[in-house]
Homo-oligomer: A and B are copies of this chain.
Amino acid sequence: MGAAAQRAEAENEEWAGVTPDAARRLVSAAVAAFAERGYHATTTRDIAGRAGMSPAALYIHYKTKEELLYRISGIGHEKALRIMGAAAEAEGGATERLADAVRTFARWHAEHHTTARVIQYELQALGADHYAEIADLRRRTDRLLRGIIQDGADSGEFRVDDVPGTTLAVLSLCVDVARWFSADGPRTPDEVGALYADLVLRMVGARTAPATE
């Protein structure tokens, strides 16, 4: 199997929960197109074409183009929330949990940078109702991360002056990976995760340096 085919298969697996097959192919095609050109520059003909169908077929599975973006955003943000939740609720001290959160969160944004780009940078194209739903998922992700950092500050593991500000910065750092990351670049998603975990532990003034590996 070629590299391109492998990538296509991996992208398809990401949307395994979407059925039937035609709907999944449409989601996969839309993510690729939205990430490449942006939501507004992408036409329904382009999405349908990438999925190997006629433009009209799109409307059997989704009411509008915006609903496609909404579905993508929902699934993507739920995945991001689950990643943050797993780290936040894990056993261990704040240092380990923060390192794990940043490592996995940043790595996901690198590995799935096309999906991440869409869900992080095309939000404004959502309708007001859909935006509100997604904004709630984002607030919950923020709250989980803030909880870890607050724990570390309370226990004395971290030295942070401004917990909400630092949380915002950490989240911003991880999210922005989706903007600059390229699969052709010099860094693997694992390396980005490791680098970012290290940088963030320094940002919060964690007392014990983690194993640099």
How would you classify the secondary structure of chain A's contact residues: helix, strand, loop or mixed?
helix
Complex CA gap A179/B123 in Å reads: 11
B212 touches A161 (CB 8 A): yes
Contact of A202 among B37, B38, B187, B205 (CB under 8 A): B205
Interface hit among A69-77, A80-88, A170-178: A170-178
Residues in B with CB closer than 8 Å to A37 are 124
Q: How many copies does the complex hold?
A: 2
Contact of A199 among B124, B180, B203 (CB under 8 A): B203
Q: A38-B40, A202-B205 given. 15 additional CB < 8 A pairs?
A: A37-B124, A38-B124, A38-B125, A40-B41, A121-B121, A165-B195, A168-B180, A169-B173, A169-B195, A172-B177, A176-B176, A176-B179, A202-B202, A202-B204, A203-B203
A contact residues vs B (CB 8 Å cutoff): 37-38, 40-41, 121, 124-125, 161-162, 165-166, 168-169, 172-173, 175-177, 179-180, 187, 195-196, 198-199, 202-205, 212
Q: List 20 A-B contacts (CB under 8 A).
A: A38-B40, A38-B124, A38-B125, A40-B40, A165-B187, A165-B195, A166-B195, A166-B199, A169-B195, A172-B177, A172-B179, A172-B180, A173-B176, A175-B176, A176-B176, A176-B179, A199-B203, A202-B203, A202-B204, A202-B205
